[in-house]
Chains A and B, each alone.
Chain A
Amino acid sequence: GENVEQHPSTLSVQEGDSAVIKCTYSDSASNYFPWYKQELGKRPQLIIDIRSNVGEKKDQRIAVTLNKTAKHFSLHITETQPEDSAVYFCAATTPFGNEKLTFGTGTRLTIIP
């Protein structure tokens, strides 16, 4: 089955600077890569996703890049703000009619004011 690795496990960034979180996946058939933000005690919220037919997607301060050959994808947050502090999870899913998500281990992002 799919295996997703995520790095780093913790990340502290000065407010205004950029943050980058990286994930690798094992199943070359995976074709959908969402990123979720989870605040303490709350549900994961989808913040951005990318499908295997594109290499990059951007939504305001958030961007995701995908390298299918190397089987890795990254989340980029620019101009970080205190409210960006949370745990971020990457995930991957394989097709064939059953969209099972395999999650990475999570990155605790702390924005230092």
Chain B
Amino acid sequence: GAVVSQHPSWVICKSGTSVKIECRSLDFQATTMFWYRQFPKQSLMLMATSNEGSKATYEQGVEKDKFLINHASLTLSTLTVTSAHPEDSSFYICSDWDRSTDTQYFGPGTRLTVL
């Protein structure tokens, strides 16, 4: 399957700071990437769909001004959690959609802890 990387794998930050998470599609050009959030012992919840060269599409209830998504190239999408608060602590996972196989592959995830 496709290879997706994320960086960093974990981050601890103070409340009020911003954190940027990178998602890279390593072996094919991904015009569409997805960002998910997973709280402990819960399922994956789609936050937004990241489209290369255009604005992201956010799911209902996800604040677009708080979770900034940039998909400037076919291999990189970034999620910036702005003014992070403890309730933003979660496991953030990206995925890309390989159109040739019509399959989604997930990155390794980023564990964010906001103190």
Q: Whose C-beta in chain B lies nearest to the C-beta of A44?
A: B106
What's the Cα separation between A103 and B44 when bound, in Å? 6
For residue B34, which residues in chain A have a CB less than 8 angstroms away from its CB? 100-101
Least CB distance from A10 to B in Å reads 11
Interface size on A, residues (CB 8 A): 20
SS of B interface (majority): strand
B67 to chain A, nearest CB (A): 16
Are A34 and B49 in contact, CB atoms less than 8 angstroms apart? no
- B32 and A99 contacting across the interface, CB-CB below 8 Å: yes
Establish whether residues A99 and B93, one from each chain, have CB atoms under 8 Å apart when the complex forms.
Answer: no
B105 touches A46 (CB 8 A): yes
List residues of chain A with CB within 8 A of the CB of B107.
Answer: 43
Are B108 and A98 in contact (CB-based, < 8 A)? no
Q: Which residues from chain A contact B97 at a C-beta distance below 8 Å?
A: 99
Task: Check: B43 CB closer than 8 A to any chain A CB.
Answer: yes
- A99→B104 contact, CB < 8 A: yes
**In the complex, per-residue mask of A83-99: 1 if CB is within 8 Å of any chain B CB, else 0:** 00000010000000011
Q: At the interface, yes or no: A42 with Cβ under 8 Å from chain B? A: yes
